[in-house]
A and B are shown apart, each in its own frame.
Chain A
Amino acid sequence: MCEVVLRGFGWRHAGRRAWALRGVDLHIAHGERVLLLGPSGAGKSTLLAALAGLLPEDSGEAEGEVQIDGLDPRRHCFPGSPRRPQDRAPVAGNERVGLLFQDPQTQLVMARSGDDVAFGLENRGVPAGEIWPRVGEALDRVGFPYPMSRPTAALSGGEAQRLALAGVLVLRPGLLLLDEPTANLDPAGAALVRDALTRTCQRDTTTILVEHRVAEALPLVDRVVVLEPGGGVRADGAPAAVFAACGDELADRGVWVPGHPIAPRKAVAPPGDVLVRVRDVAVADRLPPVEVDVRAGEVLAVTGPNGAGKSTLALVLGGLLPPTAGRVEYPGQPAPPHRWRAAALARRVGSVFQNPEHQFVTTRVVDELALAGPPASVVDDLLARLRLTHLAPANPYTLSGGEARRLSVATALATAPRLLILDEPTFGQDRRTWIELADLLAGLRDEGRAIVAVTHDDAFVSVLADRRRCLGFP
């Protein structure tokens, strides 16, 4: 049980001009469960890192104070603290602060599930006899369904994140920090993790949760704190009160405030001619036979559970993966798309991958757009349309998630293809970027292009999709 006090706390990362946080005054009592909200860039992750003692003095400038149970998180035996023995407070295998990150794959250390949970206990010098009972208890607490010998490589995203949560909870932290734990997960995985959190977040642990899917996170918390980018606390209180007071403003700034639906953007004109015919296409072990037509002027949403083969279908449509059975026909083209030269492929089909960073090949944003050789006017137009003009000379790898996503869509559009295939385009987007993307895709559709979107996002389907194809159901 930890008490968190911040007085005028501010942080500026080294080398930046703007403060990530400034003048934050916050008091969180023992056992409170808090949802931390704010638009992108409001410093939520920075605040969690400060509480975990992961912001060393030489990596930036601090002001004000932050205390956990009256102690500075950087000076005592917290994760990431300095290593001098005289700075260590006595620890009996219990931890003050536990932090769960968003990517399960980069939190799991060991090859077997039980070993991974035991990792934290080994690090803290817990005697060997106590380790395995505590591991079993932590796994039960999160509802992990497999035995301890289960290989971590065989876990789905949601199961892996549950295991990571067990690894954090086994140390019995008084303060649990969760940095967007369901951001990288599909809805089924996210539900698994929320279920585990419901089971574990009892009154004995102070919890601070940063989460984009606000509506689903509300049952887990009793208090909402809203941060202002470069400033302090904008609003603080019970969820209903906070959303009544500044719900509209938050929704405009990008927070997914419940009760603010998005207007549909469906096609007004009937669909045009068929651009692609998919006939009994199958890929061994990954995609059962499927048949679908893609028409111009239409958004086709491909949905289905994990493992149904949605991404595989997107790759086959985009000419990136040869099917093991069936045909993909582009009327007017004798050869199937997987046989085309890459330059011809890029002119006809634009593929946007789930991870934007996979598609960056140059060192500047403007070079990315100019890669396929479009005229400078087209490049400038794309930069303006996608609000990337101020980032033109920046390195693509330094962009934030939303900016990188917009850039990857822009690069696919640079060659003006008639068909655009997107794999999970709205993954982890805040409300503002989401709406921008929906507007952009609606505009492209109305121009007469065809759009195929592989997605888990039901909101995307209801707002934008003109037709829906479900895979994986009989």
Chain B
Amino acid sequence: MTLVLDPVADAAAPLARRNPVAKLAAALLFALPLIATLDPLTAALGLAVELAVLPLFGVRYRVLARRAWPLALAAAGILITMVLFAADRGGALLLSLGPFDVTTGVLLSALGLVLRVFAVALPGIIVFATTDPTDLADALVQNARVPARFAIGALAAFRLLPLLGHEWQMLTLARRARGIDAGRNPVARLRLFASTAFGLLVGALRRGGRLAVAMDARGFDSRVPRTSARRQHFGPADWALMAGAAALAAGALTVSVVTGLFTPIIG
């Protein structure tokens, strides 16, 4: 499993073309208000909006499903936890697994939580599926006034990330070649994992240090005002995207309040 950051969307789609900072802000403006309530209606509305808007971002549903597989894992975890530990077991009994009663009440609360996980996480996944990391770093520096040191530093670090996977493989093979393997013993496995992780850390620190010296040698972070080779524009369409996201989130919450299903997270 590698950290997938490369954009997979059609870059010409109307919303995919927007400024990366605008897209990120819109995702936050849309997702965070959805956390305020526990009811399934708001989450379902939010999810419906996200799925409806997807074609405008140029991402196909199948591609999104592949990127979102960790969420499916989270959903399964929530379902199991609710079945085992739910306090409120009201509603009609559907299934009885030993001491655990699966009722409609349990399933409904589980559904609410699962929908919430998807509704809150999906905007972030969509943003990263439609944004090139270099463009995001440029936009953060130019439009959001993030210090170049952090944005470009993080970008350089992400470039080195795929090397870690290869390095881990080499370290594991090297340990086998030295006569060290863990077999079935969980303690031995843990020790082997810790030893390999330490080797990876040392390698990563060295590589990071060398890259930092090389960046320094090319004048990075030397207080000379930095210019940009790639312009990132922030225009009216970007403001409109952010406003639209905020409005849609507000709309979902309003519907929830009006129908009386609003259950605040605090209180």
**Using a CB–CB distance below 8 Å, which chain A residues touch chain B?**
52, 54, 77, 79-81, 83, 85, 88, 91, 95, 98-99, 101, 103, 105-112, 115, 118-128, 131-132, 135, 152-153, 167-168, 171, 315, 318-321, 341-343, 345-347, 349-351, 353, 355, 357-361, 371-372, 397, 411-412, 415
Contacts and interface: CB of A to CB of B under 8 A. Distances in A.
A415 B179 CA distance: 9
B125 interface: no
Contact of A359 (B177, B202, B217, B222): B177
A358 B179 contact: no
30 contacts: A54-B213, A77-B224, A79-B217, A79-B218, A79-B219, A80-B217, A95-B219, A99-B217, A105-B207, A106-B214, A109-B156, A109-B214, A109-B215, A119-B215, A119-B220, A120-B218, A123-B222, A125-B225, A131-B229, A320-B173, A343-B181, A345-B177, A353-B170, A357-B199, A357-B202, A357-B203, A361-B180, A371-B178, A372-B179, A397-B202
Contacts of A99: 217
Chain B's interface size range is 35 or more
B211 A107 contact: yes
A359 B163 contact: no
A342 B227 contact: no
B183 interface: yes
B226 interface: yes
Contacts of B213: 54, 80, 101
Nearest to A125: B224
Interface of B: 133-134, 152, 155-156, 159-160, 162-163, 167, 170-171, 173-181, 183, 195, 199, 202-203, 207, 210-211, 213-231
Nearest to B223: A83
B214 A111 contact: no
A123 B162 contact: no
A51 B163 CA distance: 31
A125 B178 contact: no
B226 A122 contact: yes
A125 B181 contact: no
A168 B216 CA distance: 12
Nearest to B170: A358
A111 B133 contact: yes
A119 B178 CA distance: 42
B224 A124 contact: yes
B6 to A, nearest CB: 9
